[in-house]
Structure 1
Amino acid sequence: MQRICVIGGSRYFGILLVQRLLAAGHEVTLVNRGSSPPPPGAGHLRVDRDDEAALSAALGLRDFDVVIDQVCYTPVQAAAAARVFRGRTRRFLMTSTIEVYNPADTTLPSVPHGTLLTEGRLDLTTWPVRMDLPWDDPEFRDAHYSEGKRQAEAVLSREEGFPFASVRVAHVLGGGALDFTGRLAHYVERVIQGREIAVHDTIRPSVFVHYEEMADLMLWAATASDFTGPVNACSDGLLDAEDLGAAIGARTGRHPRYRRIAAGEEASPYSFDRHYAMSNARARELGFPLSRTADWLPSAIDETVAALTAPAV
């Protein structure tokens, strides 16, 4: 049994992670603003993680084997978490994102199509950190999501004597009504209704992961492994927007329709005009076996179809 603190954990695969931690016999304390009640058996501290003094006070004398930060989006949040949890935990695990590799807003050179990016692609020991930017502005934070995550990782990776690991999560699919992003539903609705899916003229593929596998991987990363540094989390198999549409068409008996967008026009989610797919080799080497996207994608589509066509209660 380990004492686990989960910051966030109230949405999507975070809910499933908390349930699996409890089922495995761990002592779990949730830290969030209380937008939804914790599952039975979990402790709960209702506090805004952005209020550093309130967070420290709410924790009191508690300490933990592992802290899992599901909602760290900025270097300011990362620095505050390091101050609050230093001396309170043996290891700090941050849920990060594939978007740290997105070359759209960085000076990273592009990579050849089909190249799978390893964790060494980013040297966060030298990555510039800007605490003075308006990270507390939700619009700014949303518009700079990938950079916020990069800088958050950079801050935590430089904290001496503060064991830190990050899980860089691929695009998550599955869960039906649990998927608050609505991205898979976007495709399913359009295929079922015969509406066009807006895609780039040249589409680049990416990597994905099922929400249940993501919960399993986070459980393993927190309780069965002691790695530090980043690890990529994705299933095997590249997938682009048209591949996704074709898979939905095969499950629904409909033919997807596409519309090529002009430069600067907004595309559907998962339509990418740049390549930054990840390699999962490090996760495998550390001991976590990952699935193939083709093995779980049909059921993820079926879940979403069922959620969209369920009668209103």
Structure 2
Amino acid sequence: MNILVAGGTRFFGIPMIYRLIADGHAVTVATRGRTPDGFGDKIKRLCLDRNDEESVAAALDGRNFDVVIDKLAYSSNDVRRLLDHVKCGKYVLMSSAAVYEHTGICTSEDCFEPADYPLRWCERADCGYDEAKRQAECALVQAYSRHKYTIVRYPVVVGRNDYTGRLRFYVEKILAGEPMYIDDPDSRISLIDEAGAGEFMAYIAERDIGGAVNGCCCGDISPAEILGYIEERTGKKAMLTKKGEAAPYNGYPAFAVLDTSKAMTAGFVFCDVKEAVYRTIDSYLAEL
């Protein structure tokens, strides 16, 4: 298939594109051209600025793709600017589990219905990340439902190449003997590894999975278990105090666990969350 990827040169976009290439697809990557990639002549490249409609139009008007995978849509206007200027057989929107206002032990896709939520045309800067992602979904479902589409909702992604440094924070604090504040060490959370996140996006491109779909590792994990593994591997104790620097996973509900039965019914197998987290921690320890 002829596939356009908006974004994809960082983090879990990298295993996604390599999987698409390995599966024999013709891949075109559209970015601002600021981040080097290692794909060489295996892909084609387009340069555009998602915030500039003239730039998007110049790059995409008249082009037709079997699938568009949009990793860069953070608002309703982002969706509009792209889908007004490209033709495609299927559109895959990279969304987030942040769209769920209330999460529980088994949060399913119907816990947020973009068709029933008020649509507001906005930019990412107009609201918080969670609301901006809701509006991106609303734009797709309410204004562009003529397209076949899949909305992918991930929790926090972990991996060696995570530029946000969220999981790495815990490793560095313990190694340095620096205090940190964790609001609920026993909260149960879902995560997904970068390889699984990328490969599931590529998997969706080839399959008829409609509507929203959750993706995350099998099982759940707590901050206490993360700390325990680091302490075991390093022989150092975590310093926990309310005066310490706030930890990145603070703010999760007590049970923020996603239901992935829809993805698994479609045949995709996610790895175990503890395997993914502990493997990532080991990669950080090998570097530090």
Same-fold status (TM-score > 0.5): yes
CA distance in 2, matches of 1:22, 1:37: 18
Helix, strand or coil at the partner of 1:128: coil
Partner of 1:145: 129
Distance 1:267 1:75, change over 3 A: same
Partner of 1:107: none
Partner of 2:173: 190
Q: Would the aligned equivalents of 1:124 and 1:157 in 2 still touch at CA under 8 Å?
A: yes
Aligned residues: 284
Partner of 1:76: 77
Helix, strand or coil at the partner of 2:116: coil
- Which of 147, 162, 166 is residue 147 of structure 2 equivalent to? 162
- Which of 198, 202, 215 is residue 219 of structure 1 equivalent to? 202
Partner of 1:208: 191
Helix, strand or coil at the partner of 1:306: helix
How far did residue 89 of structure 1 move? 0.7
How far did residue 163 of structure 1 move? 1.0
Partner of 1:292: 272
CA distance in 1, matches of 2:284, 2:237: 17
Q: Would you say 1:8 and 2:32 are equivalent positions?
A: no
Distance 1:200 1:172, change over 3 A: same
- Which of 214, 237, 251 is residue 255 of structure 1 equivalent to? 237
Alignment of 1:1-313 (within 5 A): 2-38=1-37, 39-40=39-40, 41-85=42-86, 88-101=87-100, 103=101, 110=102, 115-131=105-121, 133=122, 135=123, 137=125, 140-141=126-127, 144-158=128-142, 159-175=144-160, 178-200=161-183, 204-223=187-206, 225-260=207-242, 267-274=246-253, 275-307=255-287, 309=288
CA distance in 1, matches of 2:181, 2:83: 42
CA distance in 2, matches of 1:99, 1:11: 21
Identity of aligned residues (%): 30
Q: Would the aligned equivalents of 1:74 and 1:152 in 2 still touch at CA under 8 Å?
A: yes
CA distance in 2, matches of 1:254, 1:202: 17
Q: Structure 2 counterpart of 1:222, which letter?
A: A
CA distance in 2, matches of 1:21, 1:273: 33
Give the TM-score of the pair, scaled to structure 1. 0.85
Bigger mean CA deviation after superposition, 88-97 or 200-209? 200-209
Q: Would the aligned equivalents of 2:185 and 2:222 in 1 still touch at CA under 8 Å?
A: no
Q: Would the aligned equivalents of 1:201 and 1:260 in 2 still touch at CA under 8 Å?
A: no
CA distance in 2, matches of 1:292, 1:20: 20
CA distance in 2, matches of 1:126, 1:146: 16
Helix, strand or coil at the partner of 1:238: coil
How far did residue 99 of structure 1 move? 1.0
Q: Structure 2 counterpart of 1:72, which letter?
A: A
Give the TM-score of the pair, scaled to structure 2. 0.92
CA distance in 2, matches of 1:205, 1:42: 40
Q: Structure 1 counterpart of 2:146, which letter?
A: G
> Which 4+ runs in 1 deviate beyond 6 A?
none
Unaligned runs of 5+ in 2: none
Q: Would the aligned equivalents of 2:56 and 2:82 in 1 still touch at CA under 8 Å?
A: no
CA distance in 2, matches of 1:266, 1:155: 37
Q: Would the aligned equivalents of 1:185 and 1:304 in 2 still touch at CA under 8 Å?
A: yes
Q: Would the aligned equivalents of 1:206 and 1:239 in 2 still touch at CA under 8 Å?
A: yes
Bigger mean CA deviation after superposition, 41-50 or 55-64? 55-64
CA distance in 1, matches of 2:163, 2:194: 12
